[in-house]
Each structure stands twice: as C-alpha cells, then as structure tokens.
Structure 1
Amino acid sequence: MAAGAGIDIYSGVARMAGKVWGSLHRAAEPSRTAVVVVHPSSNFLGHYLLGPLAERGVDAVGLNTRYIGNDSALIMENCVLDVGAAIGFLRERGYEKVVLIGNSGGGGLTAFYQSQAESPTVRATPAGDPPDLTKAALPPVDGLVSLMAHPGRAIVYTEWLDPAIVDEHDPLRRDAELDMFDPRNGPPYSPEFVERYRAAQLARSRRITAWVREQLAALDKRDDGLRDLPFLVHGTVADPRFLDTALDASDRTPGTLWGPAVTSNLLPATLGHHTSLRSWLSQWSVDDSNCDGPRHIARTNVPTLVMYGTADQVCFPSHARSMYDAIPHDDRKLVPVEGGNHYLQGQPDLIAHVADTLVGWIEAKGLRA
C-alpha cells in the first residue's frame, strides 16, 4: 500500500509492512478472472461469497483496506489507493479480467475507485492533504457490482444522524420535537415530521463540520506538528426508516443490523461514533467527502450490476436505485434479491442465488477469462 499523509492506523506492524491483506479463494480450474469484494473498514477475509464464487469457477478475493476493523481515522482517498494496490497486484499476476464488488459501505468506495481509475480528478483530501489521485497507480477494473450497498458513507451517515441531540457532549439531552423515538412523533411518521427531521439531520452534520474546521484552523497555528485530534459523535443510528417500514417500503422488519434502533443509536460499536477531525471531512461530512457513489458512478464506463436485498435493514431500495439511475450507460442491470437481508445471514439458498447471478452476469458480459 502507499503510505498515508500521517499516522492514521494504530498498528506499527501494519504501517511498517506497507501491505493491505486479502484472502484469495481459487477455483478448481485455473481462472484468469478475479472478483474482488471490498469495504472501507469491514473485515472481508471471510466474506460469504468467496467460497461460492470459487466453487463456480471464478477466483474470488476478500480485500481489506489498511483501516480493517477501525475507521476512527479513515481517509477515503487512502482506501482508493489500497484498492488500486490490490488491483495492480492481481493484474501483475496474470488476471485478465477483474470485477470489483462493493458490498454495503463498499458501494460508494468502488464507484469512487473506478471513477478515479478511468478519469482521475481528486488531487487531495477535503482537508487538503495527500494523496493526489491524479498521480496514483489506479488500474481500472472491467466490471462493477454494487451489492446490498448504500451510495456512500457520508450520505448514509447523515441519513442516520440523530437530530434530537442538542448537546454534543450529552446524548441524553434531547429535543422531543425531533425525536424519532418519542411515540408522540410515530411511527408512522408524517411527511411533515420526516421533512423537518431530514433538515435537522443536515443542520447537525454541518454544525459538526463547522466545528471541525475551526479545530483544524487552530491546529494549523501550532508549531509542534500536531495535525489532528479525535472526537466523539453520539446518536448515529437514527433513520426513521428503521422503525417505519412504509418509508422506502420493502420487505424488511423494523430494527437495525445491531438490534433495536433506540439502543443501537448510542451503542459504542455502531456506525461512526469515534472519528478524527480529518477523517470526519473525508469520511462523514456530506458536504465535503469525495466518496459520493452516484456522482462517481456517473463517471464510469464499465458493465455494472446493482443488487439489493428486499429485506435489508441497512441499505434500502432507494439506495440501490440512486446508484443504478446514476449509471451513464445502458450496460447496467438492477436485480432485487427477494427476502435478502443485509449480509444474507442465515440465508444459504440466497447466497447460492447471488453467487449464481453474479457468475451468470460475468459470463454474459464476457468477463470470464
């Protein structure tokens, strides 16, 4: 992997090794096609599709970025570099066709990657730091797949940000008029409440961004080399769609990937509670992050498959539609996975169905070498 602009991962071993790690599952017969499944921070070494794809004759890679298991200082532009390192590694080893799958949070990342591989434009992070992607080694892939994916971490984070929190240091001080967990507001939620709620989410995100920029400006005045600081964000799992399934209607049941929304919203292990100033701008700020899936997928020119689960509690039908609608050409396909949950947990028949669909699409597009 290419080094980052600062120390953004804790492990000295990982930094000094200069490597990102992947798990390759080989087909029984030699395959010159590799399918790569990636996410900005989740551990995909044991992804559920690797074995099934290899069994169907296609080599499959579960790829991790340098931020495996810890996105607190994640820089999206470095994730693009890590994907590029992996694609280059596979090309050097003779793979003639490479298909890149963005699963969950990987959807926005893979669109961002291919956009910059085909026609690079991003010269710095939103904080003005390296890398310059116009000078990076980013081999284009031959096909893109968005699988149970949302359009980007900053987009979905803003959709999940709890606007009822009135004190960034005290998540239990709440504005009842903007509290989706107050039964007086729903569910079901009125269109008027949802409109106010969405506006308040955006306003909270922008308040945090303004504070982040103030902190960075203060750091710039220091002469001791300190360039970043960590901070905490409370209330990051509060999308009304978690409780009101008539919003963005699908087959899902109420709740979240982590359990009941009211507790998941404040659990330490859920989305994006711990971050740094520079990571906030790159990863979570909806006005600043470069990782906007629809914007970037609109700049790509390879065959693209979008698959979504109709029972997914994380990525909703509108997320899949926003990615699909942004694809600028006709070599695209939108496929619902009926009854599929976010990671197809406990659904072996649907895992087989998704693997069959992927391999069938790869073959139909001439991507099986």
Structure 2
Amino acid sequence: MTSDKALVTGYLFSCGGEDTVVCMMHPREMNVTQYLVPDLLKAGVAVWIQGARSPGNDIRLEHEKALLDMAAGQVFLRARGFRHTVLQGTSGGGPLAAFYCEQSGLAPQDRIAASPGGRPTGLTSADMPPPDGVVFVSAHLGQGELLRNCIDPSVVDENDPLRTDAGLSAFEPANGYVPAPDSARYEAEFLTRYRAAQADRIRRIDAFALESLARKAEARKRVKAGDQTATYLAAWSPIFQVWRTDADPRCFDLSLDPSERAYGTLWGANQIASNYGSVGFARVCTPESWLSNWSAFHSNAGMERCAPSISQPVLMIEYTGDNSVFPQEADRIFAAIGTADKERHKIHGNHHGRPVDPDRPNGQLLAAQAITDWLQSKGFI
C-alpha cells in the first residue's frame, strides 16, 4: 500500500539469500516477463517487478503518483531486509527512475507539492528511500519529449483526426516520403517547419487541458460559495483522445541521426496502422494525465530535468538500432546524468534489444551480461 493508501502490485523473484534487489518499473506497463529477469537471478540478485496503481491506463496516470507507487515498493523491499536496491528503468521507466532519484534525494518539504494538473502529489509527506544505484536500458528523454518528436503535426482538427495539412505530412511524397524498404529524404526546410508545427500541436492540447482544469477549478469555487448549480461542472473530468502520434521523420529518413536502426517506428514499419490505429502513445487522456505525462512543456518527468540530480552510480545501456532513442538523444541523456560514477555501453539491437541484423548476437543477453558485470564491479553482488 502506498502512502496515500492506494494498492499496488509487485512481483519479487528470488532464489534466496540475496543482499541486492534490482527494481524494475514502468509508469504505464506491468511487464512481469521482463527479459532481464532470468539472467539477473542467475547472477545472484533478486528482481522486483513493480506495477503502478493503474497499469496500461493513461486516464489515471500521473508521474507524481507513480513515484508514490515506486516508493511503496522501496519501503517494502527495505523491510524485507535487502541491503541494496538498484533501480532499473527500461524505456519510459528510465525517466521515472530519474524522477524518483531527484525527489527522493530532497528533503520532504522541498519535493514537488502539486502535479502539473494541480493535484496534491503527497510527495512532501511520503517515505521515499533512495536507491543505491541506477541502470538505464534504452531509456528515452521522457514521455513528453518522446511525443513531441513523434506526434503528427499535419492534424488540422483534434476532433477530426482524418483532416490533414498535406504540406506538413511526413507521408507525402512531395515532402520527401518514400515507403519501405527505401529511406525517405526530407529537406532541412521541411523538417524545420515540421518540428515547429509539432510543438504547436502540443501547445494547443496543453491549452485545452489547462482551460478544462480552469473551468473545473472555477466551478469548485462557486460550489464552495454556495452555488449548487455548479456541482456537476465541478465534478466533470473530460476524457479526450489524441490521434496520430507515430510520425517521427527519423523513423523513415534513416540519414537523420544515422544508426543501425531499421525503417519504421517502435510500433512497426506500417505507419498507417501505427499512426491511425487505436494502439499508440497518449491515445486516451485526461487533462491531468496529459500535462503530467505527455506534455513536453509541463511534465516533470524529463531526463534532462531530473538526471542532473542523480548522485548514485549509473549504468546506461543504449541499443544501436533503437528507433525510439536516437544517438544524439542518448548523448544528451548521458551528459545530463549528474554523478561522475557513470558508465555507458552500446549494444546492437532494437528498442527491445532484439537484433536488427539477424546475424548479430541477441542484445538482450548482452545487456544482461553488462548489467551483471557492472553490479559485480560496484559490490552489489
């Protein structure tokens, strides 16, 4: 149970007698079958798979509350007698781990008191045991930065996701698009307009979210003053959809920030299915969850904001064929990590560590070995 009385789930994998537990948590996913678990158990550490209070559901998720969920796991593990806890953040779990390190390293009264949506976080009164080390694997810059780079700026109307400004579409041949297996070729002028329009779309959704919250706050004031006609408006919390969020030009133009990645995105090579389909980033949100998780301009859970506060030893593993974390971004993440005790490994593989080149070794196994070696070098094993 968390400090604000929410129930969360965790799975502890242990062979018995371990002093160190590696703690894996993603803000949106509950991945009990995480690929690193078997090899880390064999290496001699326990593994804790932590769930958030609402896995797979952006409607309730706020990163600030996810920190309370992570803290509950850390309290539980310390009470179980583990001497060392090491946070392991994969993909979006990386920014979450960095955010936890930042907030747990502060005096309670100095922690973030309200989420970007205005809700009390509970962080100022929570027990947040700091970890002893951090391992990042294919960690990105944060959900807000991730979405800013992959949201489709050619959407004309948020209420009609099929309306398109062809001049801002990454999938128009006139703009340089070429379907797989050949690489697209976008001109610098188009990319400048494209990136600016992506930021503009984020700001428009931000404005809608903030306006919704302002109306709700005003209605609550009216109710408090005795105006019962505002009761329903004070309780109303809109749920909205965000379509077409899989359109990062780097996924189709392989000459941009080149790497060993394959054509296509995290979701696959069919951009029509991933950009227009029901499965994708930020599809269903509330104003509070949008601002905390997906807004590049409001979310607190960004690597470049949080990682400078990390004082623990850090291992960072990047996959050289990752089509969600690109080489220049990996450079920015590593540079942002505050501790001088940091180590970086580059391993062939896609975002999940699977080989892009079938003749290359399995990156998941190599990542597990790199983590094992690092844990041993730091005395955790």
Query: Would you call these one fold, judging by a TM-score over 0.5?
Result: yes
Cα displacement string for residues 31-83 of structure 1 (whole angstroms, at most 9, x for unaligned residues): 11000111101122111111111011111122211121222331110111111
3-state SS, counterpart of residue 335 of structure 1? strand
Measured in 2, the distance between the counterparts of 1:109 and 1:32 equals 24
Q: More displaced, 210-219 or 221-230?
A: 221-230
Do residues 366 (structure 1) and 363 (structure 2) align? Answer: no
Cα distance in 2 for partners of 1:231, 1:352 equals 40
Relative to the length of structure 2, the TM-score reads 0.89
2:188 is aligned with 1:191: yes
Residue aligning to 1:205: 202
Where do 5+ consecutive residues of structure 1 fail to align? 5-15
| Code of the aligned partner of 2:21 | A
Matched, 1:236 2:245: yes
Superposition pairs of residues 88-99 of structure 1, within 5 angstroms: 88-99=75-86
Letter in 2 for 1:194: L
Whether 1:103 aligns to 2:110 is no
Query: CA offsets per residue over residues 227-266 of structure 1, 9 Å max, x none?
Result: 5210011111111111112212110111122222232012
Match of 2:12 among 17, 24, 28: 24
Structure 1 residues 312-321 or 159-168, which shifts more?
312-321
Task: Provide the TM-score with structure 1 as the length reference.
Answer: 0.92
1:350 aligns with 2:347: no
Give runs of aligned pairs for residues 296-335 of structure 1, distance below 5 A. 296-335=306-345
2:188 counterpart letter in structure 1: P
Mapping of residues 110-189 of structure 1, within 5 Å: 110-119=97-106, 120-186=110-176, 187-189=184-186
Contact 1:309 1:337 in 2 (8 A): yes
Name the structure 2 match of 1:9: none
Q: 1:285 matched to which residue of 2?
A: 295
In structure 1, what residue type is equivalent to 2:299? Answer: S
Residues 208 and 331 (structure 1), Cα distance of their counterparts in 2 relative to 1, 3 Å cut:
same
Contact in 1 for aligned 2:314/2:339 (Cα 8 Å): no
> RMSD between aligned alpha carbons?
1.7
Count of aligned residue pairs for this structure pair: 354
Q: Is the 8 A contact 1:116 1:134 kept in 2?
A: no
Equivalent pair of 2:2/2:8 in contact (CA under 8 Å): no
Output aligned runs, 1:42-81, within 5 Å. Answer: 42-81=29-68
CA shift, 1:345, in A, is 4.2
Deviation at 1:315, TM superposition (A): 2.1
Equivalent residue letter for 2:294: W
* Among 245, 249, 254, the residue aligned to 1:245: 254
Paired AA for residue 298 in structure 1:
P
Give the aligned partner of residue 277 of structure 2. 267
Look up the equivalent residue of 2:216 and give its one-letter code: L
Paired AA for residue 264 in structure 1: S
1:34 is matched with 21
Inter-partner Cα distance in structure 1 for 2:89 and 2:46: 16
Q: Secondary structure at the match of 1:279?
A: helix
Which deviates more from structure 2 when the two are superposed, residues 206-215 or residues 308-317? Answer: 308-317
Counterpart contact for 1:124–1:131, Cα < 8 Å:
yes
Looking at structure 1, the residues matched to 367 and 185 of structure 2 have their Cα atoms a distance apart, in angstroms, of 33
Task: Please tell me whether Structure 1 or Structure 2 has the larger radius of gyration of its CA atoms.
Answer: 2
CA distance in 2, matches of 1:72, 1:268: 15
